[in-house]
A and B are shown apart, each in its own frame.
Chain A
Amino acid sequence: MRVGLFIPCYINQLYPQVAIATLELLEKLNVDVYYPSTQTCCGQPLGNSGYEEDSKGACQLFVENFAAYDYIVGPSGSCIYHVKKHFDIIEQTPDVVKVRNNAFELCEFIVKVLGKTDLGASFPHKVGLHKSCHGLRGLHLGSCSERMDPYYSTEEDLLNNVKGLELMQLNRADECCGFGGTFSVFEEAVSVKMGKDKIQDHLDNGVEVITGADHSCLMHLEGLINRDNKPLKVMHIAEILNSTI
């Protein structure tokens, strides 16, 4: 099984530790991982801002980079959702269809494709899980509080097997954090308020570390935490799953 590692643009530039953890984690699980070196971005920032026409070049490049692999795995539910959901703007060649069908968010890939939930990690901390909307409602990484479906959560399946980790309950477990890509800038006031409320929910429930499968949400929350000096840390789920004592 050949896996193409997709590292979203902002993770590559700003959070290399998340990309490294993702790579190391996949290698630990004996996956044959390749990092196509001419990848850039899935085009989501353009699509969500109404400029999906201008993102076609980025989409084509994405397909060129990843068409050769059996699976495409990335540490970001949001970007993977964009590939699966919005790549209908380019011609649906067999390569495009293959890439869309085989793109997986990291946790989903580990649980559903590799069939593993206990990765041998240990992380003795009180952790709050931020269920990012695109992963949750877009990729169905878990059941949503609005729907009357049986309860499940791909990320919780993984975190519950981390030694020493205590997963804290939240009052509004799957409310949006307010990042929303360019929403965070063009609707600054509401975005910030949503983020502040989200952080308060974690604080109220004794969380030490907020984690999630989408670092863009975590970037927004971290920005608020650091400005207000809140006693919270932010880590991508790959970093936690890759950690040992």
Chain B
Amino acid sequence: MSHSEKAAIFNKNEAKVNWHDKALWYVREKRDNAAHGVKGWEYLRDTASKIKGNVLSNLDNYLIEFEANALKNGIKVHWASDAKEHNSIVHKIVKEHNAKKVVKSKSMLTEECHLNPYLESKNIEVVDTDLGEYIVQIAKETPSHIVLPAIHKTKEEVDELFQEHLGTKPSNGNPEYLTNEARKHLRNKFLQADVAITGVNFAIAETGGFVVCTNEGNADMGAHLAPVHIACMGIEKIIPKEEHLGVFLRLLARSATGQPITTYSSHFNKPAKGKELHIVIVDNGRTEQLSREDFRSSLHCIRCGACMNTCPIYRRSGGHSYDATIPGPIGSILSPGKDLTKHSSLPFASTLCGSCSNVCPVKINIHEQLYKWRQLIVKDVKQPVVKKTILKITGKILKNRTSYNLVGKSARFMLKYAPRFMVYSKLNAWGKARELPKVKTQNFDDWYKAKRKNNE
């Protein structure tokens, strides 16, 4: 199903759309307030964008530098070219420790690699410990947003889910009660875990360490309790020096949730005594994206989700309508790079309003890349015959004034004289909820000829 079909289904429940829109707009407003508090915000965005540009131009060197320093610190480094290799590396480590229980802190990379179903198929229990992630996990769904994974669920829906899965009492969606119950449940999971898996927000080439940002402290709970910590990172998560962290940490939390700083920015530099620390560095299509000049800056992304919160289409179509690990504007650039045919409708799920590019803390020109993808998709993916024919003919009409005049006149004639049932047929998507313009007797050409004869 295309994005528009899924979005149309989501829009059948207008009250839910309004709620979803308002919830995310609230975050966007919080972000605006937080950004206003930083003098030189635009300068900070410029700086972050330049650092990322430098990273992408020297990615190989920074990765090698990172590996050497991480190894020196006693971290075990693994390389995975794709999702399959990533999953089998993680499984191998888990198996070596005879581990049966894994706690995971939110990581979009492991979502992208479908790590959970893979480990579960090997009889390993995986528990997502971020509250939102945990909610979608027990609902057997995927995250609909990268920072607010359960934003598509109301607290009443969560109440029902918890009654079913955790045996909680009906609380009419009391967030405090529900959070406390989840906390008690997850605390046991942390205590029993053999392995903790986390994502990586920033890996620092200069030090060989990395930073994980969470608001619930769940990455720390997992990593500090379990004897083995596996951190999974995409190759683009590298930054050159520790001093650059200040730029990104200031931008990340404000862009994501409007907080001045994420509650926990945890630095991992080496394994604790008697414990193991692994890092899996994953490509999975990223070097291919890097090779596409028009789209390479999409790898600047620090996964703050600001483009989703600001996107009027995302807010009114819900994350699941994108049918991709990363939904919204940035996902609509990243996903076609992985599977052009499957995701061919995503670059069209935008009015190209440009709000995403303006809000992006690392200045990715998102809407311009969406426009570029459209040109490639039309060439490389089979298009609906009607759409293709209409647009090709339009191209021919517009190069010539005589045909343009003729079509203009007949269209106006149709709009003026054709019976309503013909004009407002099923084929007319415009007219489903909108009136067509009321046509005047003259067009501007006619008027001009009559009134301004002496001009050209």
Contacts and interface: CB of A to CB of B under 8 A. Distances in A.
B398 A61 contact: yes
Given A43-B398, A185-B429, A146 B351 contact: no
Contact of B4 (A41, A145, A188): A188
Interface string B377-390: 11100000001000
Nearest to B40: A148
Nearest to A16: B444
Contact of A138 (B14, B354, B448): B354
Interface in B431-456: 432-437, 439-440, 442-448, 452, 455-456
A195 B433 CA distance: 10
A70 interface: no
Contacts of B401: 37-40, 61
A145 to B, nearest CB: 7
A180 interface: yes
B452 A189 contact: no
B78 to A, nearest CB: 39
B412 interface: yes
A180 B374 CA distance: 14
Interface in A1-57: 7, 9, 11-17, 19-20, 23, 33-41, 43, 45-55, 57
Contact of B455 (A35, A172, A191, A194): A35
A174 B436 CA distance: 25
Interface size class of A (residues with CB under 8 A): 35 or more
A61 B395 CA distance: 12
Nearest to B11: A189
B374 A57 contact: no
A179 interface: yes
Contact of A133 (B351, B395, B411, B436): B351
Contacts of A194: 312-313, 316, 351
Contacts of B35: 148
Interface in A183-212: 183-195, 197
A52 B379 CA distance: 11
B77 interface: no
B359 A146 contact: yes
B348 A183 contact: yes
A181 B398 CA distance: 16
Given A35-B448, A183-B348, A13 B398 contact: no
A7 B444 contact: yes
B398 A223 contact: no
B32 interface: yes
Given A178-B351, A187-B349, A190-B313, A46 B395 contact: yes
Contacts of A116: none
Contacts of B430: 184-185, 188, 223
A149 B42 contact: yes
Contacts of A137: 353-355, 357-358
Nearest to A12: B444
B408 A9 contact: yes
Mostly, the B contact residues are helix
A219 interface: yes
Nearest to A52: B375
B80 to A, nearest CB: 34
B312 A146 contact: no
Given A41-B404, A224-B434, A13 B443 contact: yes
Contacts of B392: 51, 54
Contact of A189 (B4, B378, B399): B4
B440 A16 contact: yes
Interface string B102-125: 000000000000000000000000
A41 B396 CA distance: 12
B348 A192 contact: no
Contact of A187 (B4, B374, B408, B415): B4
B312 to A, nearest CB: 5
Contacts of B452: 23, 35
A236 interface: no
Interface of B: 3-4, 7-8, 11, 14, 17, 21, 25, 32, 35-36, 38, 41-42, 310, 312-313, 316-317, 348-355, 357-359, 371, 374-375, 377-379, 387, 391-392, 394-401, 404, 408, 411-412, 415, 429-430, 432-437, 439-440, 442-448, 452, 455-456
Interface of A: 7, 9, 11-17, 19-20, 23, 33-41, 43, 45-55, 57-58, 60-61, 86, 133-134, 137-138, 144-149, 172, 174-176, 178-181, 183-195, 197, 219-220, 222-224, 226-227
13 contacts: A9-B404, A12-B443, A13-B408, A35-B448, A51-B395, A148-B38, A176-B351, A178-B312, A188-B8, A190-B8, A190-B313, A192-B432, A193-B11
Given A9-B404, A178-B312, A188-B8, 18 more contacts: A14-B412, A20-B447, A41-B398, A48-B374, A50-B348, A53-B379, A54-B391, A55-B398, A133-B355, A144-B358, A146-B310, A146-B355, A148-B35, A148-B36, A148-B42, A178-B351, A186-B348, A223-B435
